[in-house]
Amino acid sequence: MTALEHLEARIADLVATVDAQQAKIDSLAADLEDEQKARQETEQHLMELETTCEEQTALIDALRKRTGTTQSQIAELQARELEKGAHLEYEHVSPTQEKLDVPDDRLERFSDEEGTQRVRLPDHDDPLGRSENTLPTADLLPIQQLARMDEETLSTATNTRADYIAARIWGERTTHSLGSLWKKGCREVAAYVDASDIRVFIKSNLEREDESLSRGYAKKLAGRAMERLRELAKSRVYIERRTHRKDGLEYTERRLVLPSDADIPGRTTLTDDTPGTNPVTG
């Protein structure tokens, strides 16, 4: 091979090498372009995801605020219904329990005749009679048995007027309205009623059409009824003397007290800080 031929062969090899390298560069450039394009698409997708997350977070915050507002509204309605004497299903009240604004923050939890767990304000009977917490008569105190009777049956079942009045007084314990006979106590006292208020109740509600009770006789009936109520309640209530002042004078009168821990059949109390129940007498 001549020198010229050798040079031409060398040049041909170099050209082939350059072409191969150029092809490699073109391939790498194409790969880099594809990678940059994929990276841009990834970055765009990430930006879209960030935007979506921000929108979802804002939506969740709005829903959380709306849910809190709705729960507060529901709790307010539930509290008002409970104050009217409603018996609500426990599972409906449980989510809003901490928001309920009820007297003394106390609810009673009980099972109705169908086994449904319900709540109510202490001693509030359902005015519609839809969820009465009934127990067998044999499980009730004598005063509860009498108070459960209708007017005609009660009149027949009671041997004395004091028993009749005692049953009516006990029945008033579940009436919670302005001017109620029983007053709500606190701490160790669930409720109480004063002899003077019983006297007025007798004169206003239990005076027969054919009589006109004197103040003194109504007062005597009130005292007898208080004693009989204590006996018929098997001493779950007690009588104490209270001294108070009125018009500059000091008065002493008797008060019938229902303790918060009185063992009254049919009561289970639920406080605002416990989702369970604590058996309480009262």
Summarize pLDDT for 188-219 with one digit per residue, the tens. 888 899 999 999 999 988 888 888 888 899 99
Domain ranges of the chain: 1-133+266-282, 139-264
Express each pLDDT in 24-41 by its tens digit. Answer: 888 888 888 888 888 888
CA–centroid distance for 135 within its chain: 23
Instruction: Compute the distance between CA of residue 237 and CA of residue 263 in angstroms, rounded to an integer.
Output: 9
pTM value is 0.55
First to last CA, the chain: 124
Spatial separation of the C-alpha atoms in residues 93 and 113, rounded to whole Å? 19
Residue 123 corresponds to which tokens in the numbers above? Answer: 């001693």
Regions of the chain where pLDDT drops below 50:
128-133, 268-282
Residue 140 is classified by DSSP as S
CB hemisphere CA count around 76 (13 angstroms): 6
Q: Tokens 């050798």 — which residue?
A: 6
Contact, 90 vs 112, CB < 8 A?
A: no
Contact of 237 with 254, CB cutoff 8 Å: no
Amino acid at 100: L
Please say whether the beta carbons of 115 and 126 come within 8 A. Answer: no
